Structure 1
Amino acid sequence: MKNFIYHNPTELIFGKGQIARLSTLIPADKRIMITFGGGSVKRNGVYDQVVAALAGRDFVEFWGIEPNPSVETLRKAIALGKERKVDFLLAVGGGSVIDGTKLIAAGLLYDGDAWDIVLKGKAEHTVPMATVLTMSATGSEMNSGAVISRYETKEKFAFYGNYPVFSILDPETLFSLPTRQIACGLSDTFVHVLEQYMTTPGQSRLMDRWAEGILHTIVEIAPRALAEPRDYDVMSEYMLGATLGLNDMIAMGVTQDWATHMIGHELTALHGLTHGATLAIVINGTLRTLREQKHGKLLQYGERIWGITEGSEEERIEQTLARTEAFFRSLGLSTHLSEEGIGEETIAEIERRFNAQGVHYGEAGNVDGAMARRILEACR
């Protein structure tokens, strides 16, 4: 295993009825901004629970953080927060609201434009924030990362802020989610784990088994999560699985990939495709294109997750790739660019962007513009 430092300060408060604890979790003297998305929390009762828990407290609301949160919208929130002298943020929503709130937390203590923080890649100072999670996918409720879009230039980049002080995870908040959102969340979770697991074999038995445990769970619960979204036990497994998939727990001392995510971000920036939907397409191209590099892990993954033990190594890998693609299709998601009307123009633009940025993603640092093209061509 590689050297590492693991520190995750986020307190998880899990289970039904836990939103009521907001009244004691946020210090009484804080001036709070509550951030929201498009309004679904008013339809599913979450908003009423939050407001009731904070009755009598000093807070202001900011609405309208989009899926794929834009710096254009977040600038408005930062201006409002500075005007109201906000010193605590509460994100009520899914990963996009939480990601956007991480930039607000940094922007409130920054004199320049918030996009500068994104381009730097890391925030130096942040206002404390917490979350009430209503959509499981990104794991943003228990990590320091965020991904922000700039609509005017069709760009999307990650940056690192601070961890939420606490996150409330009540599985009942997932009961009203549309089927496609659940499907994309399951896809996002599955690929988060693959990005940390499907790299170099023999690094850590412990990390492998933890990662495989999450993968097994997602495969097992996915059909029921889609068919029975009001099943508390199933949605509990889904919600916690998504959190554990990207809170750095399974990444200790092992190499990571993230090329699929970086390519996926570009597809979202250029076409507005939901993040989890981009991953369901790109991961198949990544695994096919880099199958020799990932040979050992593909064999291990095929045996342990899909039970593939017969045939030559190449035949087993081919079966593994087919089973993986079939899993994403079982979620009702596209697995080819052509299904989303995406072709050569987009592939060329992503290649150009990777080359212009001089990036080298992947556990071997070999996913540059040319390799991104190969991966995308394998996704056609």
Structure 2
Amino acid sequence: MLNFSFVNPTHIHFGEQQISTLAVNIPLDAKVLVVYGGGSIKSNGIYEQVASALEKHVWGEFAGVEPNPSYQTCMKAVELVKAHNYDFILAVGGGSVIDGCKFIAAAACFEGEPWEILSKGAPVESALPIGVVLTLPATGSESNSFSVVSNLQSNDKLPFATPLVQPKFAILDPNVMTTLPTRQLANGVVDAFVHTMEQYLTYPVDAKVQDRFAEGLLMTLMEEGPKVFAKDAPYAVKANIMWSATMALNGLIGAGVPQDWSTHMIGHELTAVYGLDHAQTLAIVLPRMMMEQKEAKREKLLQYAQRVLNLDMSDEDAAIKQAIEKTEAFFHSVQMPTRLRDYGLGEEVADKIVAQLERHGMVALGEHQAVTLEKSRSILLQCV
């Protein structure tokens, strides 16, 4: 096992009726900016619950954070924060809203051009405190310090991370999933699954605890994911998916193990150029990444095949091939397409995305830095 330091200070409030705890989780003297996305929270009862919980607070709102939050939209919120002296950010939404709020919290306190936080890795020295009401389990952003923001003018989708934007608390009520559309449910399950795979499917370092935790998450998502689309999906199904998504990226399963993230880096560029949902890109790229890297990942692929998928291991090469096929079949089982052609895209994608990767310095990806631009091109061509 590799050396690591681990702490997760986000206070999780999990379960039914937990949104009411906002009343005591945000200081009464805070001036709160409630940030959300397209407005669905006003039709599914979440906005009403938030407003009720904040009845003794001074608060305002900012709507319109889009999927793959844009720098341009976030900066409008920053202007609002400064104009009205808000000193606490409450993200009510999924990963995009939360990521946007992390950037807003940092940019509002940043001296200089905030885009440099993303483009140049400019250090963040202070940030406004953040709380979260999670409405879509997917990214795990509610309990980590990472954020990804897009620039619509330059086709850049770039990450930043700092402990200063780690949410102080996150409220997770699985009942919010009841009104989510199929597309968002599928995105959530796939996102959580691939987050887990990026930290698990590398090479062995005898990290038995992390491996078993990761395998448990993968098995849970594969078992429960297809069930969540039913209109009468049980609370337990939603609860297990929501908690899996949080645990997939709160730092625990990634502590002391090598990590990949090459699927994500290619996926970010697909989103930036073609506007595909983040999880859609992951479902397209991961099976091809697994095939391209099957020898480098051989030991962990065999472990995945045996422990997670319970495959016949008498022919190891056949087991690896079947494991990759079953991974893609799982994406289909949660109503997620897995080819570029499913979105009207073809071989032209390869050159554009490779150029983006090169422009952003993503020329050697993966746990061994072995995914070169040529390999990325090969993977993208296989994705058609």
Relative to the length of structure 2, the TM-score reads: 0.96
Matched letter for residue 93 of structure 1:
G
Matched letter for residue 376 of structure 1:
L
Q: SS at 1:251's partner residue? A: coil
C-alpha contact (below 8 Å) 1:353/1:369 kept by paired residues: no
Q: 2:203 aligns with which of 200, 203, 208?
A: 200
1:368 Cα deviation from its structure 2 partner:
3.0
**Are positions 1:288 and 2:295 aligned together?**
no
- 1:82-93 aligned within 5 A: 82-93=82-93
Q: Please, what is the CA RMSD of the aligned residues?
A: 1.2
Mapped to 1, the partners of 2:73 and 2:329 lie a distance apart of 37
| Corresponding residue pairs, total | 380
**Are positions 1:157 and 2:158 aligned together?**
yes
Aligned to 1:245: 248
**Are positions 1:278 and 2:289 aligned together?**
no
Mapped to 2, the partners of 1:353 and 1:173 lie a distance apart of 36
**Are positions 1:178 and 2:181 aligned together?**
yes
- 1:1-380 aligned within 5 A: 1-121=1-121, 123-161=124-162, 162-228=165-231, 230-359=233-362, 360-380=364-384
1:367 Cα deviation from its structure 2 partner:
2.0
Q: SS at 1:282's partner residue? A: helix
Relative to the length of structure 1, the TM-score reads: 0.97
C-alpha contact (below 8 Å) 2:191/2:279 kept by paired residues: yes
1:36-89 Cα shifts (integer Å, max 9, x gaps): 101000001000000011113111100100011000101100000011111111
Q: SS at 1:250's partner residue? A: coil
Matched letter for residue 69 of structure 1:
P
Mapped to 2, the partners of 1:129 and 1:342 lie a distance apart of 38
1:306 Cα deviation from its structure 2 partner:
1.1
Q: SS at 2:357's partner residue? A: helix
Mapped to 2, the partners of 1:106 and 1:371 lie a distance apart of 36
Alpha carbons of structure 1 residues 167 and 229: separation in structure 2 relative to 1, 3 Å: farther
Mapped to 1, the partners of 2:74 and 2:10 lie a distance apart of 23
C-alpha contact (below 8 Å) 1:91/1:132 kept by paired residues: yes
Q: SS at 1:156's partner residue? A: strand
Mapped to 1, the partners of 2:41 and 2:269 lie a distance apart of 29
1:230 Cα deviation from its structure 2 partner:
4.4
Q: SS at 1:91's partner residue? A: strand
C-alpha contact (below 8 Å) 2:227/2:233 kept by paired residues: no
User: Which structure 2 residue ranges, 5 or more long, are not aligned?
Assistant: none
1:228 Cα deviation from its structure 2 partner:
4.2
1:21-50 Cα shifts (integer Å, max 9, x gaps): 111110111111110101000001000000
1:275 Cα deviation from its structure 2 partner:
0.7
Mapped to 1, the partners of 2:7 and 2:352 lie a distance apart of 38
Mapped to 1, the partners of 2:342 and 2:233 lie a distance apart of 30
1:351 Cα deviation from its structure 2 partner:
1.0
Deviates more, 1:351-360 or 1:268-277: 351-360
Q: SS at 1:291's partner residue? A: coil
C-alpha contact (below 8 Å) 1:14/1:170 kept by paired residues: yes
Mapped to 2, the partners of 1:292 and 1:132 lie a distance apart of 42
User: Which structure 1 residue ranges, 5 or more long, are not aligned?
Assistant: none
Mapped to 2, the partners of 1:233 and 1:52 lie a distance apart of 26
Deviates more, 1:301-310 or 1:2-11: 301-310
1:229 Cα deviation from its structure 2 partner:
5.8
C-alpha contact (below 8 Å) 2:194/2:282 kept by paired residues: yes
Mapped to 2, the partners of 1:215 and 1:353 lie a distance apart of 31
1:244 Cα deviation from its structure 2 partner:
0.2
C-alpha contact (below 8 Å) 2:65/2:96 kept by paired residues: yes
Q: SS at 1:65's partner residue? A: coil
Deviates more, 1:23-32 or 1:134-143: 23-32
1:117 Cα deviation from its structure 2 partner:
1.2
1:346 Cα deviation from its structure 2 partner:
2.0
Matched letter for residue 109 of structure 1:
C
1:124 Cα deviation from its structure 2 partner:
2.8
Mapped to 1, the partners of 2:197 and 2:58 lie a distance apart of 43
Matched letter for residue 185 of structure 2:
I
Matched letter for residue 319 of structure 2:
R
C-alpha contact (below 8 Å) 2:269/2:357 kept by paired residues: no
Mapped to 1, the partners of 2:190 and 2:179 lie a distance apart of 19
